[in-house]
Structure 1
Amino acid sequence: MSKVRVAGFSVSIDGFGAGPEQSLNDPLGKRGPELFEWFFPTQTFQGMFGKEGETEGADAKYASSAMSGFGAFILGRNMFGPIRGEWPDENWKGWWGDNPPYHEPTFILTHHARESIVMEGGTTFHFVTGGIEEALARAKAAAGGKDIKIGGGVSTVRQYVQAGLVDEIHFAISPVVLGRGEAMFAGLDLPALGFRLTARDATGKATHIVLQK
């Protein structure tokens, strides 16, 4: 049975899932890349650029599972790009170039309609204006029985978790204190939502936590 999963979601020790002031130059916000020091050396990340990376160890294992086995992805609009409001034109097609790393149907939550975009490598971006449940229904229909990944950002993950629509969460707690940014846990009662800790692995760059219902 397919699951709805949050996977490879990095947060700081003080609970921020992105830095402040996201922009074209800082897509993860100020200091946001520090949250992903565990992810960058892995083969999962380096392979996106045709390079060799780490394949052994917990970081590599969790990186691989965070991007494999999914039949569809759901992203908030901030994860797709820095543009706000109405789409000024059709030029912006995401942060990732012509061949995004998803390789499956990817549903973008937005308040502003836009035609779907077919990219290289099997990724098609679909823009959903009907909210999180419509996006999930469409993702499930497209996933072919595989899992669906809620890819972020923070607001999108929080909405799906609070609505009781997520089955499993993998947080990578990075040894970084940001002080400011997008707070992941404020007002989020994970035990009350039915989550329990099922796995924990610590490396020099992250503590990996898996929570399941």
Structure 2
Amino acid sequence: MPLVRVTNFAISLDGYGAGEPQSLEAPFGHAGMKLHAWRFATWQDGAPSGVDALFGKQYDVGFGAEIMGANKFGPPGWQDDPDWRGWWGEDPPFHTPTYVLTHRPRESMEMEGGTTFHFLDTSVEQALAVAREAAGDLDVRIGGGASTVRDFVRAGLVDHLHLAVVPVVLGRGTLLWEGLEGLEDTFHIEAVSAPSGVVHLSLSRMQG
């Protein structure tokens, strides 16, 4: 049975997946690139092949579709720019059908490398049904941001989460854990610490 998964999703020690305010110049707000420096380090020539790299390599393995929130696709107000095509240029890193949740949908965008962006104004359950059909026998990735991940977890739709807890404190921003009290009662949780200071949490939904 294909799964619904979150991979390589970075949060701060106090649980924020992005800072504020988010803008074209500052996609992650006052967090800057702090939440993602561990991942960038694994891409460099001569980068170590340690714990961070091992988790990083699993980012896009086994997926046939992705779902993301509007704030991952673009900065606030991108819906008013008919020429906005996402942060990633003409060859985005997803290489699958990718569904953007927005209250102002637009025509689908076929990009290079196998990514096609589709824009949905629908519930998380309906969006997942569409993504599952597109993914076939492969898994569906919930790509973020934090509020989108939270909504799918709260709805009981996520089977596995890999969270990279980065050793920074943001104090404000978009909180992942809001409204998810008692999550430990429904997920089996394991932790692996990396020399970088990042703690990789693996949460697998318990089978009832």
Query: Fold-level match, TM-score > 0.5?
Result: yes
1:61 paired with 2:54, answer yes
Q: Equivalent residue of 1:139, what SS?
A: helix
Which piece of structure 1 moves more, 143-152 or 195-204?
195-204
Task: Quote the sequence identity (%).
Answer: 50
Match of 2:40 in 1: 40
Q: 1:168 & 1:36 partners in 2: Cα distance? A: 20
Match of 2:8 in 1: 8
> Which consecutive unaligned segments of at least 5 residues does structure 2 have?
none
Q: Equivalent residue of 2:30, what SS?
A: coil
* CA drift at 1:61: 1.1
Say if 1:55 and 1:61, in contact at 8 Å, map to a contact too.
no
Q: 2:63 & 2:74 partners in 1: Cα distance? A: 22
Change (3 A) 1:110 1:179: same
TM-score, with length taken from structure 2: 0.92
* CA drift at 1:67: 2.1
Q: Write the deviation string for residues 23-71 of structure 1: whole angstroms up to 9, x where unpaired.
A: 000111112410111101223xx6xxxxx46361111111111222211
TM-score, with length taken from structure 1: 0.90
Match of 2:20 in 1: 20
Match of 1:49 in 2: none
* CA drift at 1:89: 4.4
Match of 2:176 in 1: 184
> Which consecutive unaligned segments of at least 5 residues does structure 1 have?
47-51
Match of 1:157 in 2: 149
Moved over 2 A (4+): 52-55, 87-90, 198-203
Q: 1:208 & 1:113 partners in 2: Cα distance? A: 35
* CA drift at 1:135: 1.2
Say if 2:104 and 2:121, in contact at 8 Å, map to a contact too.
yes
